[in-house]
């Protein structure tokens, strides 16, 4: 009995420590974003807000301040297009991977699993060259073209997982009823994976929204710069003077992805762990 109690105390204090480590830096960001400058640049930092203010947020979005609207719009367009294209390609490919045996399947599965390992710096220079050759540097379509390489492999895995969860009898029944294989896919199975498809495309949206490294090399003006680039510029220009504004901008950038993620977490987590751990 006492040992059980000791165990519980250990568990709860462990949980408390981990959650404090996870959330306190975050809380500090949010709290600071509501403070006026005098409270931010102070020698004795306080967790209480004395004079609550929206001014930092007005500065982040307003035309006289950081004016982040255009960056947000670029990001919504880029991440939205990435999500839609990913949904189309990944549902087709995921269905093939889940339901068919064909020569080359194992190699493809391996390639999908390994492709995240070659993201970032190894392919930065080639990506720059490809988009330059296609005349797509500093354009949103160019960004989308690159972002698909981030989202597609893992989303194919996710979709394959969702399709595997459906009973095979469904297709058999559809085929008997005279649907072709594509009809069975498009009219019977796809609608049944809609929740999974929604989670997958929202995940793709979050991945594209969060990208910094590719936007850094592939965009150069408000024509295509994403919100992450906008934030990076704020850091460069106002890093010494307006931390409140920077932090409000950071909160605004994070809010959509955290909300989306909380919403899709359950459907996603299972797929992601299954994809990485089992092949």
Q: Of 47-86, which residues contact other proteins (CB under 8 A)? A: none
CB atoms within 10 A of CB 213: 13
Among 20, 125, 173, 194, interactor with other proteins by CB under 8 A? 125
Q: Which of 219, 51, 245 is nearest to 139 (CA)?
A: 219
* Residue with smaller CB distance to other proteins, 126 or 167: 126
Query: Concatenated DSSP letters for 127-192?
Result: HHHHHHHTT-TTSHHHHHHHHHHHHHHHHHHHHHHHHHTS-THHHHHHHHTT--HHHIIIIIIHHH
Site stretch for other proteins (CB under 8 A), options 39-47, 51-59, 63-71, 162-170: 39-47
- State the nearest-atom distance from the C-beta of 229 to other proteins, in Å: 9
* Residue with smaller CB distance to other proteins, 73 or 261: 261
Residue 259, CA distances (Å) to 202, 251, 252, 255 in order? 11, 12, 11, 6
CB atoms within 10 A of CB 134: 12
Q: Which of residues 168-207 bind other proteins (CB under 8 A)?
A: 181-182, 185, 206
Among 209, 219, 224, 242, interactor with other proteins by CB under 8 A? 209
Q: Which of residues 19-38 bind other proteins (CB under 8 A)?
A: 19, 21-23, 25-26, 28-29, 32
Among 78, 140, 146, 189, interactor with other proteins by CB under 8 A? 146
């Amino acid at each position: 009995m006492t040992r059980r109690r000791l165990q519980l105390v250990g568990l709860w204090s462990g949980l408390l420590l981990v959650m404090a480590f996870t959330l306190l830096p975050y809380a500090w960001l949010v709290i600071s974003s509501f403070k006026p400058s005098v409270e931010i640049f102070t020698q004795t930092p306080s967790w209480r807000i004395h004079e609550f203010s929206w001014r930092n947020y007005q500065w982040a979005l307003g035309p006289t301040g950081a004016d982040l609207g255009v960056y947000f719009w670029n990001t919504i367009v880029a991440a939205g297009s990435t999500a839609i294209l990913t949904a189309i390609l990944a549902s087709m490919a995921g269905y093939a991977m889940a339901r068919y045996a064909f020569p080359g399947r194992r190699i493809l599965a391996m390639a999908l699993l390994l492709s995240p390992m070659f993201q970032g710096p190894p392919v930065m220079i080639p990506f720059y060259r490809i988009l330059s050759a296609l005349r797509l540097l500093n354009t949103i379509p160019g960004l989308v073209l690159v972002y698909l390489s981030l989202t597609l492999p893992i989303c194919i895995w996710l979709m394959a997982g969702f399709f595997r969860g459906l009973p095979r009898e469904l297709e058999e029944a559809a085929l008997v009823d005279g649907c072709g294989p594509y009809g069975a896919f498009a009219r019977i199975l796809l609608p049944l994976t809609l929740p999974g498809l929604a989670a997958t495309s929202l995940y793709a949206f979050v991945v594209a929204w969060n990208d910094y490294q590719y936007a850094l090399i592939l965009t150069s003006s408000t024509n295509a710069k994403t919100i992450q680039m906008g934030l990076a510029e704020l850091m460069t220009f106002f890093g010494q003077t307006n931390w409140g504004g920077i932090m409000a901008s950071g909160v605004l950038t994070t809010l959509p992805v955290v909300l989306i993620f909380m919403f899709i977490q359950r459907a996603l987590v299972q797929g992601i762990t299954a994809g990485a751990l089992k092949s």
